[in-house]
Copies of this chain bind each other. A is one copy, B any other.
């Protein structure tokens, strides 16, 4: 491409669109399905159930410590499939680009998507590009949709949760939100905060392959917008149970705790991009936890509480000093455009 910046004509469907597709998207994402350059990818899946999901990404800034909008767009959709008990296989990628965006910057995002997809063993097989006029976007928005294969008899569903189950959190919370906040506001912390942005499908695969894991893992969800607290409330409401969690068991990095004290944020409501909550039958909880701790993205996994039957739909936090505080789902907005 001779152009340095994105022009409206890159979204015309004509020669410049074609060149952008061939010289950037196809070059980086290259695979036989995409190479056909049809408006749809056609492929076979093994018989059984599939999972289907979508997310749009509008995070600002586009690049942040530990990731960028491209890595986020691939990991986020992988994770929505993974917590549904699926093995992620195929992604779509759709770009809404603001006129004037540096093509070099777009290329960095696309390369990051390609690398993340490759490492996660998923293929980006179909896509779309639109360009909007200056002032009608914010450089780049990305949508990814994804298809995964559910090869397990029992896929996790919050309706399966019952009193006696155990609540497992896969690691430290708040890292993503605080990384974005410090980058956005130019705050300097003692230790640089990195987003936890990561694909969790290998972690969930190990969890589900524990003997009886398919039945024992009642529900899983990645704790993105709204944080751990919002996921727990949604699970408690859906399953008509109550959740009790212990504050002292919740893994939070010292630097995140410090940033939260400074900013007034509660880590339980902060977005994560590489953490999940699993509700697991008590008799399999230790085994599931062990399977997680052996995985790169589960080393800090911990049991943080239990499911009870009193006061259905509530979540209680037992604080370090012994108080019991009910958790509400997130009201208002902690940090806009976190993902």
Contact = CB atoms under 8 A, between A and B. Distances in A.
A96 interface: yes
Given A44-B48, A96-B141, A13 B226 contact: yes
Instruction: State the main secondary structure of chain A at its contact with B.
Output: mixed
* Most chain B C-beta atoms within 10 Å of own C-beta, residue among A38, A45, A53, A83: A38
A132 interface: yes
Contact of A53 (B41, B155, B238): B41
Interface in A23-75: 36-45, 47-58
B52 A225 contact: no
Contact of A334 (B12, B128, B136): B12
29 contacts: A9-B331, A13-B225, A14-B329, A15-B328, A16-B331, A18-B234, A36-B157, A38-B157, A39-B83, A39-B221, A40-B53, A40-B148, A41-B52, A41-B53, A42-B50, A42-B52, A42-B150, A43-B49, A43-B50, A44-B50, A45-B45, A47-B47, A50-B147, A54-B93, A54-B127, A94-B145, A96-B96, A133-B336, A143-B143
Given A17-B225, A135-B135, A226-B14, A52 B90 contact: yes
A298 interface: no
A37 B18 CA distance: 37
A271 interface: yes
A93 B315 CA distance: 31
A240 B59 CA distance: 43
B54 A143 contact: yes
A12 B336 contact: yes
Interface in A221-240: 221-222, 224-227, 230, 234, 238
A90 to B, nearest CB: 6
B333 A12 contact: yes
Contact of A94 (B55, B132, B136): B55
A84 interface: yes
Given A15-B329, A43-B49, 15 more contacts: A12-B225, A14-B230, A14-B333, A37-B238, A38-B158, A39-B84, A40-B51, A40-B53, A42-B155, A54-B145, A58-B132, A94-B143, A132-B141, A133-B336, A147-B147
A80 B17 CA distance: 17
Contacts of A147: 50, 52, 147
Contact of A96 (B56, B84, B234, B330): B56
A4 interface: no
